[in-house]
Structure 1
Amino acid sequence: MALPIDTLLRDDELTLRWLPGSTPRMVVVFTGLKARVGGQPLDEFARSASMSGQNNVLFVTDERASWYSARGLWARIVRSVRTIRNAEGIREVVSLGTSMGGFGALLLPRDLRVTRAIAFAPQVTMDRAVLDDIRWPDVAKRWGSLVERDLPATMGTTRTQYYVSAGGNCPEDLGHLNLLPEHKRVHRFVLPRGRHNLARSLKDAGVLSDVIAAILRGNKARVERLYEKYAEVMA
């Protein structure tokens, strides 16, 4: 059965979709290319993020795939998240995304109070001088600037707990993971045999919803156990 996801805003740059929940927690999900999350349709991923209707979920889509660097786009996103948070009486914000969406999930704590930021196979820089990841567009060349040139440097300035996962069989994603700072609030995970589409692999292994729920609750020990289960399935 389709979930009651309402479109709050849609234009050439930005789409915002809303799934109401029963608790004062909001999960801000940054979608990836083609408005999907880890290759999954929106409704399918919404079930994991909402935890069976407990969490409010706001889906944020960069329609131009600019890595949020289109002029004024990121400021619009931050204002929108803040407005919805205040209007809905939200007391806890968590961000979540994969790939380009993972970049957004890790960036949000720079500008808003976020309890936990969850990213699967994210890019942590789009600066070709730092990491020349040719899988993606040259954002600075296309859009004239980057919304953030050094995302890892922002992590030490927040109070957010970061959970970042990459696949062991994806050297490019490991390159991004290795740029993260050594910090007690930055939790990094390398999944054996994992490739770029980690969310799909975790779902196929039957642990995606449980992993997301464990991170949403801040239960790192359970995340580690679930990743051990994933490794056993993939062995």
Structure 2
Amino acid sequence: MSPRVVDDISAALAEHGLIPRGGFVFGEGDATPAGPAGRPARSVLLVGQAGAAPWLHFQRWLKRQPTDLEEPLDTWSREIVGGVAAEFGARAASPSDKPYLPFQQWAMRAEGLKPSPLGILMHPAYGLWHAYRGALLFDVEIEMQGPPEQIHLCDLCIGKPCLKSCPVDAYSEAGFAHQACLAHVRGPMGAPCRTGGCLDRNACPQGLAFRYPSQVQAFHMKSFGGF
């Protein structure tokens, strides 16, 4: 696949606030998912966002949907990525597909990123304020430059404020205390998290220009809390 086609895919995604997030050709040792023809795919191009760029596009779409629609962001993402996949002869995949595909490993390989202490991949420009919304799987090889060598900003961070701001210490070197976090978010002291997002994530000083607005963070916390 020529770079020009990748540019065309980028233009199609931009209409929805989405961007390509790098890609690669699968190797012989990879557990390769099926491409559009049903055979193992030859290559993958990740699709995602930087900051909250898709939010207004998603909100306009959401106003036309039933009020009881479950997992609306996943549904919107599947619709948009699926449409672009159909236009360019690819098969769409979603991070919520089961059995789950290794999106984080793909992202690390495609963009050269590493996880932060919160588990979210640290991006040198976007910080923790980015996401992967899907992937395009192709039967042909795509011409993509390999990721540049990235500085992992977490290695340079001495104070690690992302591990010191949560009232219930949900994140630590031991991992993520899911039940403690969920109970706090749902409880009477969890209002700041419900309305403004994860305190640990917001404590990170990187990528502030891409930080999600409070209404976007509240949307994600509502989904996490099951409200």
TM-score normalised according to structure 2 size: 0.28
The structure number with the bigger radius of gyration is 2
Q: Which has the higher contact order (CA 8 A, sep 6+)?
A: 2
More strand by percentage: 1
TM-score normalised according to structure 1 size: 0.27
